[in-house]
Structure 1
């Protein structure tokens, strides 16, 4: 019976974390779907490089808004309700973008979708970290990153399939308009399906027990913790209550000497993860591969290869992050990413970009990112902050991530098309951004595997900067 009970608890934890991770799927899908739609939108509206960058970055600007509001909102109304809001914003963005008739409407709905992404990128890993038991918390949070990579891959397959339909099919009425004449509309609009799935799944998800204890709803929290881990439920309740009553719960506490180090990690690591160039490859993959000599059809095929590698190597983090730890994955992944980016820049500088060398180097970079920067960054920022201010602190850390993402999205097309910089210098800049991340991983980030959130909180109070 004990084994059966343990399996039941794990199944329940996996189910609720899996549903929360669908927010990551929407994040990945909405982010990557632009890579396929972008060439057609640019042609349809005759964008220059600056307008192309703004079209991509408008959603990222929305993400920044979403992250800013999500911390206080989730503290006020709860983690679950904020996830529901996120699903609704995704749905509205997909439908609105599909039927947008001018640039203003299109960018407005991309902005709405960006707010949804920003909210999901903060609240979903936070919810998972507050719900999953310490012994496999890293694995559960890594599910969120896996969902992002599956969403990216699904967007690539979806884009390629819809492009094929546009090239070979004929419809009547609005179907012709959406699927053939402007196939980018179908590429973006199909995101309404997973948003509805996320919305429906959230019916089965309980509120975060740590949020409930913050609101003095002890019995409700104990009931949920009994379902998650009956053996340690009362111990968890006691630890969380002690943590909640010990601290003021105001954001200024994060700037106290005890939390200077987690603040440094939380602000710098997410930013560096983005300026390493990951989303330059996600957003502008077809453009980069086109410069490498691939045709548009081949470029989409290359994007699918990128997506498959992204998914497969995320499984390394899922299976090993709670065994090997956060630090080893981060250090080796960042080092390999640096070497791959350096090599990509060399290939472009030597004009040795015909064939599959460039694609292979990009795949090494993607694989390195997928088992390190991608999942481990979300794991770390969701577990290093104290209970009472975790939501707002994670909001700050995620804001840093999206600010880095915004600059990459806005500047990459300009750098790629620049006569002074071009692809080679662009990738060398991305490589240089990996070096401070490597230093941070070695010197400042502690190992947190197997520790409860409350034990991590105590660690900062007894450790010097």
Structure 2
């Protein structure tokens, strides 16, 4: 990479990057993507346990579908909290140590959700108090997810060179989908060949406990990675920042990049809306649309949807593995194209595909036709999301906010995302009971609106440094 100074600012020309340095960046950012893997694992583990939780808690205690929906979605309350506090922790203790806190919360939640009776209750005796404790453990895990969902892409975005930043941040989404795929496989493996009674009594506990393994690995690997140069500059630790930049770039480019970063962190403190309200609103709406298109309904309730098509419990869990494999393939397509085609084209193409998928499911629901066609439309919908709105929104959120307000602005956007996620997933059981056709039609309508929003308001950030994007906002 070559850099030169022109008209008082650093201009970056993207060229050949030393393969050794590229490997270093990839390895470091791969550790951060484990936060994405746990994000996916924690949010999707509920898909296999959801039916058992209804039997163990809701049916035994005669609770309403609404209460069950709140239980399935309780982790999202923690996600909102984690998203809101992520900026504070990322700015105060750093990106790395915030991720370490998230890893500890993942580990605690995995063990507590698997055995909420510990210390205070008797195993096999469900009660409202036990249900509350279970939800508290899920909320703790949700806080970890909220922290990781904001800080992992922030960490990657601040470490990665601009010419591969889109791909590396998209790897975080790949890790999310891979985490979901792994847990679909784990859930199926646990339930395979077992009776429904065993799954409803013990199987769901093993599903939650399995998360402890990746959580422990995430915690250990985090101890080996550095803090980001941009955070270090913000704390006047310039020598350490320069040392890390020198491992990413050659000496000339490292100095030029340091100059750009240092210029963006002048002595003045910037208020949240110093760059205008529009960029904050765009970040929030990107997050809301990512959830209002209904993706987490497909992820959280996939086994139930497949059971409604006539599949047995273990067969429905196996079908989620197929869906997870499709999701992985199309996420790879996004990784391969996001730095080539740009962010906006992928989002618009994905919105069109999601519209076709959801309106197809809606039409079949209205006609009362449940079968292989439903599975096809669900796959069209999820594949379209995974090649666009899944990874690309995280890429944009890691890019569009200026250095001095990134932690604060990203925290607001991520909190909005999890609030939207909670609203959509917790209302699904009641909505589907009222009308399946209208429910899926609503998600299709949101897909149309998401395309119009991107076309009109979202900026293209492909190939620009974070500081160049910031300079564009100032103009």
Q: Taking structure 1 as the reference length, what is the TM-score of the superposition? A: 0.93
What is residue 71 of structure 2 aligned with on the other side? 55
Counterparts of 1:60 and 1:222, CA distance in 2: 38
Seen in structure 2, the aligned counterparts of structure 1 residues 4 and 340 have a Cα distance that, compared at 3 Å, is closer
Q: Looking at secondary structure, tell me which structure has more helix per residue.
A: 1
What is residue 32 of structure 1 aligned with on the other side? 44
Which of residues 389, 395, 401 in structure 1 aligns to 2:405? 389
Shift of 1:333: 0.6
What is residue 172 of structure 1 aligned with on the other side? none
The answer to whether the aligner puts 1:458 opposite 2:475 as a matched pair is: no
Which whole-Å deviations, capped at 9, do the CAs of 1:275-298 have from their partners, x for residues lacking one? 101000111111222223322233
For the 8 Å contact 2:192–2:314, the answer to whether it is kept is no
Shift of 1:180: 8.1
What is residue 108 of structure 1 aligned with on the other side? 136
Shift of 1:263: 1.3
Shift of 1:417: 1.6
Counterparts of 1:412 and 1:4, CA distance in 2: 49
Which of residues 158, 161, 178 in structure 2 aligns to 1:130? 158
For the 8 Å contact 2:55–2:200, the answer to whether it is kept is no
Which of residues 328, 334, 344 in structure 2 aligns to 1:311? 328
Seen in structure 2, the aligned counterparts of structure 1 residues 187 and 262 have a Cα distance that, compared at 3 Å, is same
What is residue 7 of structure 2 aligned with on the other side? none
The answer to whether the aligner puts 1:350 opposite 2:362 as a matched pair is: no
The answer to whether the aligner puts 1:263 opposite 2:285 as a matched pair is: no
Seen in structure 2, the aligned counterparts of structure 1 residues 69 and 165 have a Cα distance that, compared at 3 Å, is farther
Which of residues 441, 444, 450 in structure 1 aligns to 2:457? 444
Shift of 1:143: 0.5
Counterparts of 1:309 and 1:270, CA distance in 2: 23
Which whole-Å deviations, capped at 9, do the CAs of 1:141-187 have from their partners, x for residues lacking one? 0000000000000110000000026449xxxxxxx99x784210000
Which of residues 328, 336, 354 in structure 1 aligns to 2:345? 328
Is the partner of 1:352 in helix, strand or coil? coil
What is residue 435 of structure 1 aligned with on the other side? 448
Which whole-Å deviations, capped at 9, do the CAs of 1:198-225 have from their partners, x for residues lacking one? 0111122100100000011111000001
**Gap runs ≥5 in structure 2:** 3-14, 118-129
Counterparts of 1:431 and 1:221, CA distance in 2: 46
Seen in structure 2, the aligned counterparts of structure 1 residues 432 and 246 have a Cα distance that, compared at 3 Å, is farther
Counterparts of 1:94 and 1:38, CA distance in 2: 15
Shift of 1:5: 7.6
Shift of 1:358: 0.5
Which of residues 187, 193, 212 in structure 1 aligns to 2:232? 212
Counterparts of 1:76 and 1:288, CA distance in 2: 43
Is the partner of 1:198 in helix, strand or coil? helix
Shift of 1:335: 1.1
The answer to whether the aligner puts 1:183 opposite 2:217 as a matched pair is: no
Which of residues 290, 314, 317 in structure 1 aligns to 2:307? 290
Counterparts of 1:91 and 1:289, CA distance in 2: 30
Seen in structure 2, the aligned counterparts of structure 1 residues 322 and 4 have a Cα distance that, compared at 3 Å, is closer
Which whole-Å deviations, capped at 9, do the CAs of 1:369-407 have from their partners, x for residues lacking one? 001000000000111011011011111111111011010
Which of residues 419, 427, 430 in structure 2 aligns to 1:403? 419
Counterparts of 2:84 and 2:415, CA distance in 1: 7
**Gap runs ≥5 in structure 1:** 169-175
Counterparts of 1:340 and 1:379, CA distance in 2: 24
